[in-house]
Structure 1
């Protein structure tokens, strides 16, 4: 039995540096269905403070295309190429794009991305903030910033908000 291909699928396009909004406008003007997830940030300059919309995922834009439109969508001076795995652009399920849209609709939710790949059981050291220098074992990761660390020296577990960029992995010394 052959799998039936959907006529349209979401794909991620890798954009030129800081060209996400320009590619979005370019593709929309060509009648492509696009999605550029944005987050609002309060920016401070020397003379003013202003709310700005920044791409949630730098250098990425999502486009919904058919096989026939596949190459037309990438034919822009702001596009670098499709995000691929094993040399093929991987379709993104509709439900994942909708989940991202729903998640970003809550304006009270602070949204950040983290590229760290910390795992339960790893030994980490806090390298910033009030717990700087403290080492412990990760027992749980609850979202982006809420972790449970066991501090053997204290004989207790601490639930705390620590930005993941304030943690570094520590190698066990034998």
Structure 2
């Protein structure tokens, strides 16, 4: 799926009601709105067994590609709370960032979502080449890097040769 091809307009992030991401994505999509709600498979333990379930990658968020005049129509969905704001206006997400998230999720299977801060680096290879981020944890084989989008970061395994200090 190429996210850049869509109905025109720009990408925006929307806050959803808790545990309503998939429902919001389905209702918006049914109304003809280009929507992206990345899903991950997670192994959950019940008292008597394990089960694989699908969960949203970004809890309480969905992404839509709309024109500015469509913003009020998106907010009419009961599962949507509001737009993610920057300086009091709905924050526009660049096509490159959305495509980077999609590519990352297709490329890396073993990752986690985190929220923290520390050291600045540039990723030298892979789907996020030339992005800058913040290292929050480093071991011999793994570096946790917060990318400069949506104040969240994705954790993946990066060798020392795959990034460099800025």
TM-score, normalised to structure 2's length?
0.68
Match of 1:111 in 2: 111
State how far apart, in whole Å, the 1-side matches of 2:46 and 2:24 are. Answer: 27
Residues 100 and 161 of structure 1, relative CA distance in 2, 3 Å threshold: closer
Which structure has the greater CA radius of gyration?
1
Q: CA deviation at 1:118?
A: 2.2
**Structure 2: runs of 5+ lacking an equivalent:** 1-7, 121-132, 146-166
| 3-state DSSP of counterpart to 2:41 | strand
Residues 58 and 82 of structure 1, relative CA distance in 2, 3 Å threshold: same
**Contact 1:34–1:63, Cα closer than 8 Å, also in 2:** yes
Match of 1:12 in 2: 13
Match of 2:48 in 1: 47
TM-score, normalised to structure 1's length?
0.65
State how far apart, in whole Å, the 2-side matches of 1:144 and 1:40 are. Answer: 24
Q: CA deviation at 1:57?
A: 1.1
RMSD of aligned Cα (Å): 2.5
Residues 162 and 111 of structure 1, relative CA distance in 2, 3 Å threshold: closer
| 3-state DSSP of counterpart to 1:58 | coil
| 3-state DSSP of counterpart to 1:76 | coil
Match of 1:88 in 2: 89
**Structure 1: runs of 5+ lacking an equivalent:** 1-6, 121-140, 149-158, 165-174
C-alpha offsets along residues 17-50 of structure 1, whole Å, 9 cap, x if unaligned?
1110110011011010000011111111112211
Matches for 1:2-151 after TM superposition, within 5 Å: 8-106=9-107, 109-119=109-119, 145=137, 147=138
C-alpha offsets along residues 131-166 of structure 1, whole Å, 9 cap, x if unaligned?
xxxxxxxxxx99665x16xxxxxxxxxx365889xx
State how far apart, in whole Å, the 2-side matches of 1:31 and 1:97 are. Answer: 19
Normalized per residue, the structure richer in strand is 2
Q: CA deviation at 1:119?
A: 3.2
